[in-house]
Structure 1
């Protein structure tokens, strides 16, 4: 079901949440009055105590959703924490995220009405898969009577949101989230967070079992409509409510049909084109929602992401496989961009390529002189926006746990961190269009790049050879001085012409002086 590009890495992964000295106290939850023991949990209850469930760490190879370690989280806690929407068990119930719970349930009810299913059917579906769901999460999960409801609501909310997004954009104005670009972006960003995930396999099973073709005369349930109307009527009476409430509109007054059926006024069918080359209909819906991160990259047949963070990494990682080398000691003295430029290295942007760094072999100059050799370093064009840090940090955290043998994104930014020391390095990379700065301040970009790799550990790299060659090129005496000569005396046509004229004047003066002395 899942194509794991890290299949060669079979070593058990360390769970930072279960160090003996850091094990959190268990919370007892009322779940019934029996003692059971399975491969993944132990349930106990005494006469005067409530029942506790403790996860036994028996299948670390199944884990795909982790809590970010505290050391990594402290660098920028907000980047790993949902700001608007909780998905899954890790962040459920936080007071600052409760505003969206009402709207999630509206989407949930719309999903049930769209496919004519009952609440009990959904919860039973989740209950029969509870063991497999739990095995995807690393760490202790507190199980209570609401666990099935939490997972069911979150999963149906996601699918219903994707279905609505897939419909005609003209109808997005009737949807609470999609009608607001700010709100859609906030939800999209929360859905990418590493801790804020549901297993994709669960969403896929849910879609396959419940997403049957809907009838064309679908209408939302009466209670859902009334709830949306109440939310809309109170919207103007709450001037001090959260941003979530201020944008509230009745999201289901004109609920749309499923993505396959989009009838227009004359009952004709509108066919919506999708990008991914994949026969999984849910993956097509997912691609459409996250297409801003795809950069034109499709999802091939056979690719099944573990969750949405993994999907975004798939979009950003290089298409071609690269060789990773292990080194017990990191490469030292990687020179900053401005110093490499001083030795003749030129920086080129790579467009339509996903986070990769390449080096062209040293070539002769246009005059075909062996003494004037150029070195081009090609880097993927890195666009820095407001949400960039959040996305990159979560993908790097993902690679630390799931892809320690193929840390493509970590490698890229570790090398970028070496190239950027001060704001002048960013100025150079921006000038060469390697970095597209949408933040406005190059100093802010320099700080961002320098902080991205804090607490990131990486002993494998696909760029060891490039780094060594860059160091050798910079430390070569001839390269450094020839580059200085070119930069100072031949930087443009006029400077070069003046230099040549000056050299000839000097030569004629010397020849004249010698002739005078000889005569």
Structure 2
């Protein structure tokens, strides 16, 4: 009886008995392979990404929407469902104001863009069937249009149901985007001409920008501090807009060019006087450093100040990355840091890292500069005192923690945007001349009393030398 049971057991586990399962698995796997896109050809079309875990792991809340989902990454999440009803109301009200737009035409056009839209994301979203995906495109596209239209037209925004600041924040999350060609197609269906479309896109950027006074027209370099009816003076948007984060990035980081780096300076009278005093300094000379000059790391603000480098707020900057290092002075535009700065900085860094990698990331390079300068609350105080940072967070400690955390997981290449500036700053502070000069100024010229003490010491030394001279002279040539 036991032998019969053993044979039956063996027959159940034989390869022949598993053949149908293997065939089914093969067919299922082949279907999945057939549905995959050609990565080599399609990856370059990706414009919307889920933030990599190494960037988001310690700050996931900065990448996730709080009130509204746009696009498929966070679609259907429970805490965001309340706004889905608001989107339906927006669509209903929008269609009711335009009799010439039919719902079936809108659905047809969105359906024709479905595959192109899916290919903009770096994930497949097989859980969203065609109807659900097209519905999402339609509702989200019309919400973006009507949300900013209501602001532009000065209509009541209470119907949104949430503070607009929450919505603005969610619209600038990398994972919370739809391709802008959906908005453009809806513009076309509405009958918006190119001139009106240009004005509308400019207004979107104007509405989202946190500090409009820093955005300037490169042709006139005149800051815009208020919106005009036509927005004619506002800089033009890029020819191709991928999504709202891309539009925002274009205005915040507009082709920054090359930072100004001037490391040598002719002596002025003050420098000559300080040089003449070195002979009387009691400081011990330190040998020159033999380390390689780094283009990736610079000392903190406190260390740089101690080594003679000066900080100053850059006046009339062309953009927020208009940074220069001239003759031992690091000039940086004023940066206002609020609670909204945290998600904005985090998502702009993630956008650069996902879209451009380490090759073209000026904003990441800029934040790396801040991360190097700020290691302690005292560094924040130094940058505040010279007008570079305006801190609207709770404390210097909170700002220090944010700056040190925001670049986690991100990377820059050796030839990053501020590489030359990093190198020249390190050359400046590694120079023994600048170290001795800084020590001399710190020890003997830091306060009026120190200067008076130095002058008194010099006078005393001169009088002593004169007295010694006459004593020796009288010895050899007595009267």
CA contact (8 A) 2:298 2:426 kept: yes
User: Per the alignment, in what secondary structure is the counterpart of residue 320 of structure 2?
Assistant: coil
CA contact (8 A) 1:55 1:141 kept: no
The one of 86, 96, 101 equivalent to 1:113 is: 96
Offset at 1:389? 1.3
Offset at 1:108? 1.4
Q: Residues of 2 paired with 1:486 and 1:106: CA distance?
A: 67
Aligned to 1:442: 396
The one of 171, 178, 181 equivalent to 1:198 is: 178
- How many matched pairs? 385
TM-score (norm 1): 0.69
Offset at 1:331? 3.4
Aligned to 2:61: 78
CA contact (8 A) 1:155 1:198 kept: yes
When residues 313 and 322 of structure 1 are mapped into structure 2, their CA distance, relative to the original with a 3 A threshold, is: same
When residues 331 and 435 of structure 1 are mapped into structure 2, their CA distance, relative to the original with a 3 A threshold, is: same
Query: In the alignment, does 2:118 pair up with 1:134?
Result: yes
Query: In the alignment, does 2:243 pair up with 1:307?
Result: yes
Alignment of 1:363-374 (within 5 A): none
Residues 507-516 or 52-61, more deviating: 52-61
CA contact (8 A) 1:318 1:355 kept: no
Q: Residues of 1 paired with 2:66 and 2:237: CA distance?
A: 34
User: Per the alignment, in what secondary structure is the counterpart of residue 87 of structure 1?
Assistant: coil
Aligned to 1:151: 137
Query: In the alignment, does 2:346 pair up with 1:393?
Result: yes
Q: Residues of 2 paired with 1:426 and 1:102: CA distance?
A: 44
User: Per the alignment, in what secondary structure is the counterpart of residue 311 of structure 1?
Assistant: helix
Residues 404-413 or 157-166, more deviating: 404-413
Residues 76-85 or 119-128, more deviating: 119-128
Aligned to 2:406: 452
Offset at 1:471? 1.2
Q: Residues of 1 paired with 2:467 and 2:202: CA distance?
A: 80
User: Per the alignment, in what secondary structure is the counterpart of residue 50 of structure 2?
Assistant: coil
Offset at 1:340? 1.4
When residues 53 and 281 of structure 1 are mapped into structure 2, their CA distance, relative to the original with a 3 A threshold, is: farther
Alignment of 1:321-470 (within 5 A): 321-322=257-258, 331=295, 334-351=298-315, 352-356=317-321, 358-362=323-327, 375-404=328-357, 405-459=359-413, 460-470=415-425
Aligned to 2:187: 207
Offset at 1:101? 1.2
Query: In the alignment, does 2:251 pair up with 1:286?
Result: no
Q: Residues of 1 paired with 2:439 and 2:76: CA distance?
A: 62
When residues 344 and 442 of structure 1 are mapped into structure 2, their CA distance, relative to the original with a 3 A threshold, is: same
Offset at 1:76? 0.4
Deviations 1:35-76 (A, max 9, x none): xxxxxxx978xxxxxxx9766644111110011112211020
When residues 476 and 82 of structure 1 are mapped into structure 2, their CA distance, relative to the original with a 3 A threshold, is: same
CA contact (8 A) 1:357 1:377 kept: no
Q: Residues of 2 paired with 1:157 and 1:337: CA distance?
A: 45
Q: Residues of 2 paired with 1:495 and 1:177: CA distance?
A: 63
CA contact (8 A) 1:84 1:186 kept: yes
CA contact (8 A) 2:294 2:422 kept: no
When residues 443 and 204 of structure 1 are mapped into structure 2, their CA distance, relative to the original with a 3 A threshold, is: same
When residues 81 and 55 of structure 1 are mapped into structure 2, their CA distance, relative to the original with a 3 A threshold, is: farther
Query: In the alignment, does 2:458 pair up with 1:503?
Result: yes
Q: Residues of 2 paired with 1:429 and 1:505: CA distance?
A: 40
When residues 330 and 53 of structure 1 are mapped into structure 2, their CA distance, relative to the original with a 3 A threshold, is: farther
User: Per the alignment, in what secondary structure is the counterpart of residue 57 of structure 2?
Assistant: helix
Q: Residues of 2 paired with 1:484 and 1:330: CA distance?
A: 23
Unaligned runs of 5+ in 2: 1-29, 217-233, 260-292, 475-479
CA contact (8 A) 2:332 2:388 kept: yes
TM-score (norm 2): 0.74
Q: Residues of 1 paired with 2:153 and 2:207: CA distance?
A: 11
When residues 489 and 425 of structure 1 are mapped into structure 2, their CA distance, relative to the original with a 3 A threshold, is: same
User: Per the alignment, in what secondary structure is the counterpart of residue 159 of structure 2?
Assistant: coil
Unaligned runs of 5+ in 1: 1-41, 45-51, 214-276, 324-328, 363-374
CA contact (8 A) 2:215 2:252 kept: no
Residues 289-298 or 445-454, more deviating: 289-298
When residues 114 and 461 of structure 1 are mapped into structure 2, their CA distance, relative to the original with a 3 A threshold, is: same
CA contact (8 A) 2:174 2:245 kept: yes
The one of 412, 427, 440 equivalent to 1:472 is: 427
Point out the structure with the larger helix share: 2
Question: For the pair shown, which has the larger CA radius of gyration, 1 or 2?
Answer: 2
Q: Residues of 2 paired with 1:118 and 1:354: CA distance?
A: 43
CA RMSD, aligned part only?
2.7
